[in-house]
Amino acid sequence: MSADPPRIVVLRLGHRPARDRRVTTHVCLTARAFGAERAIVSTKDGGLERTVDKVVAKFGGGFAVETGVSWRKVVNDWRGAVVHLTMYGETLEDALPRIPRDEVLVIVGAQKVPGEVFNLADFNVAVGNQPHSEVAALAVFLDRFLEGDGLRRPFAGNVVIVPSRRGKTVRTRA
């Protein structure tokens, strides 16, 4: 990977607060942990924003989440590559070498994604061609795209989990 990591933003489409809150929270936390700088959610959900903001405040990082944003405006205004994760796309292995490493908008859906997204995306990428979680697809995509560097970034939060073979080692910064 280059010295300057790519700017990565995740766009979550079709979030239904009553049904998808937990999964969308996991999409945001996965985006943060694996190297994205922010998540945008097409449906307004203040509770989701507060939950993610609490994690960021506790564990660190510059991650942000914004909800209630027009997905079409985000996609149309985006100046980098637009990658739509879908089981109907080309294989991850075929797409990865062609995706630019500067600014990437990664789209993940919650419910049926509008057909328009397939045409607006620069890359429709399948992390496998079988049904599975969008959280899993996002994690695999970001890890492969960043060659593992996303997970190795320091977060400098108030709470630090220290890797250990057994038990739980948690350090709190003053």
Q: How far is CA 168 from CA 30, 34, 163, in A?
A: 21, 21, 8
* Residue type present at position 104: V
Q: What is the pLDDT of residues 7-33, one digit of tens each?
A: 999 999 988 888 888 999 999 999 999
- In angstroms, the CA 47 to CA 170 distance is 27
In a domain, 39, yes or no: yes
Residue closest to 65 by CA, chosen among 90, 46, 81, 84: 46
In a domain, 1, yes or no: no
Indicate whether 171 pLDDT > 60.
yes
Q: How many CA atoms lie within 13 A of 157 on its CB side?
A: 20
pLDDT score, position 174? 67
pLDDT score, position 80? 97
Residue that has been written with the tokens 């995306």 in this structure: 121
At residue 70 the predicted structure's pLDDT band, cuts being 50, 70 and 90, is: very high
In a domain, 2, yes or no: no
Residue-range definition of the domain harbouring residue 12: 7-172
Q: How many CA atoms lie within 13 A of 45 on its CB side?
A: 26
In a domain, 37, yes or no: yes
CB 107: neighbour CB atoms within 10 A?
28
Give the angle subtended at the CA of 142 by the CAs of 141 and 147, to the nearest 5°.
105
In a domain, 124, yes or no: yes
Cβ 48 vs Cβ 21: under 8 Å: yes
In a domain, 121, yes or no: yes
Express as a percent the part of the chain with pLDDT over 90. Answer: 80
CB 148: neighbour CB atoms within 10 A?
12
Residue 143: both structure tokens together: 């890890």
CATH number at residue 141: 3.40.1280.10
DSSP letter at 60 equals B
Residue 81 C-alpha from the chain's centroid: 15
In a domain, 133, yes or no: yes
Complete DSSP assignment for 51-94: HHHHHHHHHB-S-EEEES--HHHHHHH--SEEEEEEEEEEEHHH
Residues 6+ apart with CB under 8 A from 13: 42, 71, 107, 108, 109, 110, 113, 114, 117
In a domain, 152, yes or no: yes
Total tally of structural domains belonging to the chain: 1
